[in-house]
């Protein structure tokens, strides 16, 4: 029987792709398990997609003129914000039904990313993840760290299925 084309975007490093700034990955075992086998998991690395190398110098989120910006830590004049936002727009048109985000990432983090501000340090979302949510507010999104919680994992899958059926 053909699988229904339910597509979940996943931060590529969680699927074992060695795309992190340090050349490593953060493979998440649960994504290999049966519960996710009926979905089409689409590996997405926004930082590689905008042309950055592996390895690369790390970036972080700062606040500038009241906006979150993703800049290289060593050289803050290198600002990747606009490219990451543009890439999110492209991914928003890829018929995804959910997204699993790498926590704390300046690109992929969803509500867990450290924001460096002179006023007060806080947590926010990575530029790519926030822009994707802005384009598709109802797209189910959660982070790798939430998948260890069975209830959160089940709820996410229910939300993905509901979103898929709502799109048909
Ligand atoms: S967190 Fe996102 S941008 Fe960073 S390596 Fe993983 S997929 Fe790429």
Phi, psi at 163, each rounded to 5°: -65, -40
Tokens found for residue 156 = 């996410």
Domain tally, the chain: 1
Tokens found for residue 37 = 């086998």
The response to whether residue 100 sits with its C-beta less than 6 Å from ligand 1 reads no
Q: How far is the CA of 166 from the centre of ligand 1 (A)?
A: 29
The response to whether residue 71 sits with its C-beta less than 6 Å from ligand 1 reads no
Answer yes or no: is 115 within a domain.
no
Answer yes or no: is 75 within a domain.
no
- Please report, in angstroms and rounded to a whole number, the separation of the first and last CA atoms in the chain: 19
The domain of 34 spans 7-56+82-105+126-167
The response to whether residue 107 sits with its C-beta less than 6 Å from ligand 1 reads yes
Which H or E run includes 99?
strand 98-101
For the CA of 43, the nearest atom of ligand 1: 7
Answer yes or no: is 101 within a domain.
yes
Residues 6+ apart with CB under 8 A from 24: 13, 18
For the CA of 26, the nearest atom of ligand 1: 6
Q: Whose CA is nearest to atom 6 of ligand 1?
A: 13
Answer yes or no: is 67 within a domain.
no
Answer yes or no: is 73 within a domain.
no
d(CA 104, CA 123): 9
Helix (H, G, I), strand (E, B) or coil at 13: helix
Q: How far is the CA of 2 from the centre of ligand 1 (A)?
A: 31
d(CA 160, CA 100): 11
Answer yes or no: is 158 within a domain.
yes
Per-residue pLDDT of the chain (168 residues; tens, 9 = 90+): 555 689 999 999 999 999 999 999 999 999 999 989 999 999 999 999 999 999 999 999 999 999 999 999 999 999 999 999 999 999 999 999 999 999 999 999 999 999 998 888 899 999 999 999 999 999 999 999 999 999 999 999 999 999 999 987
d(CA 127, CA 17): 21
d(CA 113, CA 103): 7
Strand-pairing partners, residue 62, are 69, 116
The response to whether residue 13 sits with its C-beta less than 6 Å from ligand 1 reads yes
Answer yes or no: is 76 within a domain.
no
């Amino acid at each position: 029987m053909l699988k229904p084309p339910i597509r979940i975007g996943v931060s590529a490093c969680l699927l074992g792709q060695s795309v992190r700034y340090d050349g490593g990955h953060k493979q998440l075992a649960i994504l290999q398990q049966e519960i996710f086998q009926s979905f089409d998991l689409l590996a997405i690395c926004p930082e590689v997609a905008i042309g950055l190398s592996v390895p690369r110098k790390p970036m972080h989120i700062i606040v500038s003129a009241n906006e979150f910006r993703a800049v290289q830590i060593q050289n803050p004049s290198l600002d990747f914000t606009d490219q990451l936002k543009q890439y999110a727009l492209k991914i928003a048109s890829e018929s995804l039904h959910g997204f699993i985000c790498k926590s704390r990432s300046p690109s992929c983090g969803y509500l867990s990313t450290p924001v460096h501000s002179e006023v007060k340090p806080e947590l926010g979302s990575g530029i790519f993840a926030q822009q994707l949510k802005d384009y598709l507010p109802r797209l189910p999104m959660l982070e790798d760290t939430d998948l260890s919680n069975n209830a959160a994992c089940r709820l996410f899958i229910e939300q993905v299925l509901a979103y898929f059926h709502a799109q048909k």
